[in-house]
Structures are given as structure tokens and as C-alpha cells.
Amino acid sequence: MWSCARFPCKLVRPMRSISLTAIEGIPMVKAGDDLAALIGDALDRSGLRPETCDILVVCQKIVSKSEGRVVHLGDIEPSEFAKSVAARWEKDPRAVELVLRQTNRIVRNDRGVIIVETGPGWVCANAGVDESNSLENDSAILLPVDPDASARRIRTGLRDRFGVDLAVLVTDTFGRPWRDGLTEICLGIAGMNAMLDLRGTADLAGRELHHTVVAIADELACAAGLLMEKAGAIPAVLVRGYPYQPFDGSAKVLIRPAEADLFR
Amino acid sequence: MWSCARFPCKLVRPMRSISLTAIEGIPMVKAGDDLAALIGDALDRSGLRPETCDILVVCQKIVSKSEGRVVHLGDIEPSEFAKSVAARWEKDPRAVELVLRQTNRIVRNDRGVIIVETGPGWVCANAGVDESNSLENDSAILLPVDPDASARRIRTGLRDRFGVDLAVLVTDTFGRPWRDGLTEICLGIAGMNAMLDLRGTADLAGRELHHTVVAIADELACAAGLLMEKAGAIPAVLVRGYPYQPFDGSAKVLIRPAEADLFR
């Protein structure tokens, strides 16, 4: 389970240490930019050579920008419903309209917070629509249409360039119930499984672990998040030393199915 | 904000990289054990010398064990309520009773899942009571009574021994609504703030960030969790390279106040 393409035999080495390195010097990203090329160039300039089994974590914002997911609020005509919600909470009705257009189900709309389930199933505030860090004024950034596919494209681009198999995660910053403060989560993944399933393994007392499925993709997102300064132009981090089995993964396994979710 | 005692001037260096190192060789922990001494011995044996501004992450289980928070289920007399809940979901009534004794409010009791708010305010499944990894059969491990105080004790012990100021986090594994899979969270902290408040700073477009308070303690917990193999006896991890301002922190700031929580 803890093996990796480089370490094909299981449990061949203890997990001793993991390094997280900020990839600096990625320029402002525009629609149509080739992210793998921009990240590859930044890696080259930094002298940081990716290796097979490294994990590249890329923040959603630059992925969305490269995919043209920036919307000018001036182009948005709010519905009457959006206007009424916006009036209630003193929000921009065009921004509310944009949120509603990404929404499959409104989970909560209370005290100025709009928590929704998006079309692809993410449950988050404002459908992940982001009004900060979009360089054009009066614009907002939407989530990528298919973040797994975004991750796969970056992975393929870096494999072609460096001849190595990385895993790639696309991550975003979400709030959560019960706990204050934002943390990073994984929206899209390529090259590894987003979960580590320990069910069937034994604990130290030899008792079988029944409930232990670890959301390692979210833990990796959080680890990388420590280096992604919000305003500091560090949109990508290289993780080295975390062994994993190469796998054609999807971040959708991180979405709790609605029928199993007691809080939706 | 990104300064640290070692780097007193603000923004004095870019955050380039963070290392996470598993502290191996910590023996089975028993009630009354001095955790700082056990961790210090393991650090000595590994040749890993802690430095001021390192962050030590310690899993809750060994903290609870050292503090004698292990309960033998045979000593527990379940109430009628515990029996009825247990019968409904085919659980051990003594284990349910133990959960209820840590409970301030039942948030959800459905489909075999008992989510509660504990006395200190944590919202989690089974009040954090853990039946795995307790070496004695038929026993369960409770959360530490005051995890901040636990972290402070470890911090003081290591400062006395090594002459360095670390931050210490006590972490546990929790589930969460909306997202499948477990991740690590911070239960107790000493020596640093659990939150990084970016409000008032500007994004890349010069727009003020209004909502950005990052739960860095939970992100650090997740990062360390990548090295804490559930069944593998890695109960502590040393984090190096994450700059922070020394601070008399508390993990309680990570609890969203009930009145601001739309899902409690």
C-alpha cells in the first residue's frame, strides 16, 4: 500500500520525511496559457527537477484563469431571485446570479452565507466563485469545469517535457462546518488515488480498522497550502517523499454521496 | 506576519520549503509516561535535533494514553438511553454510554452515526472516543481533558531539555460533512496561533481580502498526518521551515461558535 513505482515492493522503506517546495516565478496566468509549460519553465529556472512519484499541487485559480473561467460581472443579468437574495444580505446581485448559475441545490442561505451544491457535486460557499485575486476589476473566477481533466492535462504536459510521472492535484480554499478558518481541499487529481483505504489493515492491537479511509488528497492540499501565500503568487508546490501507488484517480471520490450526507 | 523569532523582520525571507520528518522509535505509551521525555529520547536516537521555530505535531492517542484517558468498557454501566441508541444501530451500549458522557449536545444521531458537540465544544463523531489502537481489549480512549494544556506541557518539557522554543500541536483524525474520508485536525496547540488572519492584506489585484482567515493548525495537522501511519507507530512529526510568530495560542479558536454555525 505504501509502495510506489520507484519502490515497487510493498513497505520497502519507512516514510521518513516529506518535503514541500514552493514553485516560485510562475507569471500571471491568462486565458489560453499552457500551465504545464509555465510550471515547467518555473521549475527549470529554480533548478528544481521533478522526479517520478513527486506530487505537484496547483491552486485552482491559475487553472481556472488558464481555462478562461473568468466572468465579467458587467455581462451578468441577475434574475429576480438573485436580486432578492442579494438585497437580503447586501451582496452584488450579479455575483449572486453567478453563484446560482453554478448551483444544483441550495444547502443553506442564511446570515449572508450561501452554501450550495454545485453541478459537479461540490458543497461549498458561493459555489466556489471567487471575486478576489482576479486581476480585472469587476470580475469573478469560476471553478474549472472538470478539475480532474485539468490535472490530467498538466500531468501529461509535464510528463512530455520532463519524462517523469508525477501526480497532480488541483486545490481550492474552502470553509467547513463546525470549524472556523479556511483550509485547502482537492478539487481535481491525476495519477494517484485521492483516498487511502486502510480498511482491513490492523491497528497496533491487531484489531481490524473498519472506518479508516483517509482523504490523503485533502491532506496533501493542506500541506501545500502552507506554502501558498494567498496574496503572494505561490500557486504551485512540489511534494516529494510521499509514497503512493500510481492510479487513475478522481477527486470526485472526495464528495460524500448526498444520500450518506447528514448535513446537506 | 510571516516572521518568526529567528527571522524577526517581517517578510524577511520567502517561504521556500517545509520539511516533515517522522519521529520514529517512540515506544508504546502508558498512563503516567512523560511524553516530552519519550519524544526527546526518540529525537536523540534519530539524531534529529529540534530547533527554535520547529513545530512538533503529536497525535492525540499517545497524549490521551499518557494522561490515563483509557476507559475499560467493563466498568461502564449504560443508561437506558444509551441502550436504546445502541440497539437501534447495533452498537456496544457501553461504548455509546461513554460517548454520551462526553456529550454536550447531540448534533445528529442517524444511520449509525452519532455526531455530538463535546463538553469543550468539539463537534465530531462519537465524541472523539476511540476504540481502535487501545492495546487493552475492551477499552476505549477519550480525548485529553485540556489538549492546549497537554501541548503546553510537551512544549515546556522539550524547552527544558533542548533549550529551544518549539510550537506543539496535538492532533486527531476527524470526519467532516460533505466530504468523504478522514483528515487530521488540531485539538490542542502551544507556542503559536492556530489561525493565520490575512484580513486587511491585499490580493494580487490590490483588493482587500475580507474573508481569509486560514486554519493553519489544521493544515499543519493534515501535513503531519501524511506521515502518521494509522497502524504504524508514528505518533509524532517534526515540521521545519514554516515561519510563524510565537504566540500563546489555543486550538479553541478553531471551534466555530454555535451561534455562527449553520450546521449544528
Query: Over the stretch A214-237, which tens digit does the pLDDT of each residue have?
Result: 999 999 999 999 999 655 579 999
For B89-140, the pLDDT digits (tens) are 889 999 999 999 999 999 999 988 899 999 899 999 999 998 765 555 789 9
Residues in chain B: 264
- Would the CB atoms of B132 and A203 count as touching at under 8 Å? yes
B74, B136 Cβ separation under 8 angstroms:
no
Q: Which residues of A touch B13 (CB under 8 A)?
A: none
DSSP string, B200-212: TSB-TTS-B-SS-
CA distance A27 to chain B (A): 12
Distance from CA of A161 to the nearest CA of B (A): 24
Judge whether B163 is closer than 8 Å to chain A, CB to CB: no
Interface probe for A, chosen from B108, B118, B179, B230 (most Cβ of A below 10 Å), is: B179
Q: CB under 8 Å to A88, separation ≥6 — which residues?
A: none
The three cell numbers of residue A97 are: 446570479
Q: Which residue has the higher pLDDT, B112 or B43?
A: B43
Find where cell 476589476 sits: A137
Spell out where chain A has E strands. Answer: 17-22, 55-59, 70-72, 103-110, 113-118, 123-125, 139-141, 167-174, 183-190, 196-197, 213-214, 236-240
| Mean pLDDT rounded to a whole number for chain A | 89
A12 has pLDDT over 60? no
SS3 state of residue A181: coil
Reference A153, options A189, A184, A120; nearest CA is A189
d(CA B133, CA A203): 5
* Burial letters A27-62, b for 16+ CB under 10 A, else e: eebeeebebbebbbebbeeeebebeebbbbbbbbbb
On whether any CB of chain B is under 8 Å from the CB of A201, the answer is yes
User: How far is the C-alpha of A47 from the C-alpha of A64, rounded, in Å?
Assistant: 27
Is pLDDT of B11 > 50?
no
More confident residue, B106 or A3: B106
For chain B positions 177-196, those within 8 Å of chain A (CB to CB) are 177-185, 194-195
Query: Above 70 in pLDDT, residue B261?
Result: yes
Contact B231 A198 (CB under 8 A): yes
User: What single letter denotes the amino acid at residue A247?
Assistant: F
- Inter-chain residue contact B176 with A177, CB threshold 8 Å: yes
* Closest partner CB to A18 (pick from B24, B226, B263): B226
Q: For A222, which of B22, B194, B219 is closest by C-beta distance?
A: B219
Asked if B203 lies within 8 A of A132 by C-beta distance, the reply is yes
Report whether pLDDT(B5) > 50. no
d(Cα B97, Cα A74) in Å, to the nearest integer? 58
Pairwise CB contact (< 8 Å): B214 & A225: yes
Any B CB within 8 A of A12 CB = no
| Angstrom distance (rounded) from CA A74 to CA A72 | 5
Q: How far apart are the first and last CA of chain A?
A: 33
Identify the residue among A30, A59, A179 best suited for mutation to test binding to B, counting B beta carbons within 10 A and taking the highest: A179
Judged by CB atoms within 8 Å, which residues 106-125 of A form the interface with B?
Answer: 108, 110-111, 113, 115, 123-124
**Which has the closest alpha carbon to B70: B142, B171, B144, B137?**
B142
**pLDDT reported for residue A231:** 52
Please name the residue of chain B whose CA is at the shortest distance from the CA of residue A110: B262
Instruction: List, as own/partner pairs, every contact residues A195-201 make where C-beta atoms lie below 8 angstroms and the sequence separation is at least 24, other chains included.
Output: A195/A253, A195/A254, A195/B180, A195/B181, A196/A1, A198/A1, A198/B230, A198/B231, A201/A1, A201/B230, A201/B231
Q: What is the ipTM for the molecules in this complex?
A: 0.92
* Residue B220 forms contact with A (CB below 8 Å): yes
**Residue-level pLDDT at B182:** 95
Contact B214 A132 (CB under 8 A): no
Q: What is the DSSP string of A88-147?
A: HHT--HHHHHHHHHTEEEEEEEETTEEEEEETT--EEEGGG-B-SS-SSTTEEEPPPS-H
Check A214 against B225: CB less than 8 A apart.
Answer: yes
The closest of A231, A72, A157 to B202, measured between CA atoms, is A231
> Which band of pLDDT confidence, cut at 50, 70 and 90, is reported for residue A81?
very high
The cell 452584488 sits on which residue? Answer: A92
A230 touching chain B per CB within 8 A: yes
pLDDT tier, A212 (very low <50, low <70, confident <90, very high otherwise): confident
The whole-angstrom distance between A45's CA and the closest CA on chain B is 14
Nearest to A263 among B177, B195, B227 (CB): B177
| Rama region for A163: left / alpha / beta (φ>0; ψ in -120 to 50; rest) | left
Chain B residues inside the 8 Å CB shell of A18: 19-20, 223, 226-227
Cut 0.90: pTM above it? yes
In B22-51, the residues whose Cβ lies within 8 Å of chain A are 22, 24, 28
Domains of chain A: 19-69+143-259 (3.30.1330.100), 70-140 (3.90.1660.10)
What is the pLDDT of chain B when averaged over all its residues?
89
A2-11, A204-213, A232-241, B21-30: least confident range = A2-11
User: Residue A198 and residue A210: Cα distance in Å, rounded?
Assistant: 8
Measure the CA–CA gap between A94 and A86, rounded to whole angstroms. Answer: 9
Q: Is the Cβ pair A180, B263 closer than 8 Å? A: no
CA angle (A83, B202, A139) in 5-degree steps: 35
